[in-house]
Amino acid sequence: PGEEITLNDGEQVTARMVANMRTGLNRIKGVRDAKKSPRDAYDIELDGIGGEMAFAKMRNLCPDLNVLPRKGGHDFTTHKGNTVDVKTTPLDKNDLLVTASKASGRRLP
């Protein structure tokens, strides 16, 4: 189906570092964990930042590597001014568990 993007070794290390820092800082700052999965928060965060970095690489955009807690918003603004909120899943059948406010988007190729 879609284009496959592979993160290089440096990008993978960066994704791990960002996921680790985001997970830790969220817990320290008391951010409520709203995950919809029994998976570990770090694993979910790693999938998320990896997906964001892959999308950025595919679309020639700069990923947000900020590790401070944030609420709401979107992950990217494209060169045409559209906003994108990247979602990832480790499941082959692409069953994403997201809140209704995030579920209305369309899938990009």
pLDDT tens per residue across span 53-74 = 999 999 899 999 989 887 777 8
pTM: 0.79
Residues 108, 88 contacting (CB under 8 angstroms) = no
Interatomic CA distance for residues 55 and 74, integer angstroms:
13
C-alpha 82: how far from chain center: 17
- Mean model confidence pLDDT for the chain: 82
Interatomic CA distance for residues 36 and 97, integer angstroms:
6
- Statement: residue 86 has pLDDT above 90: no
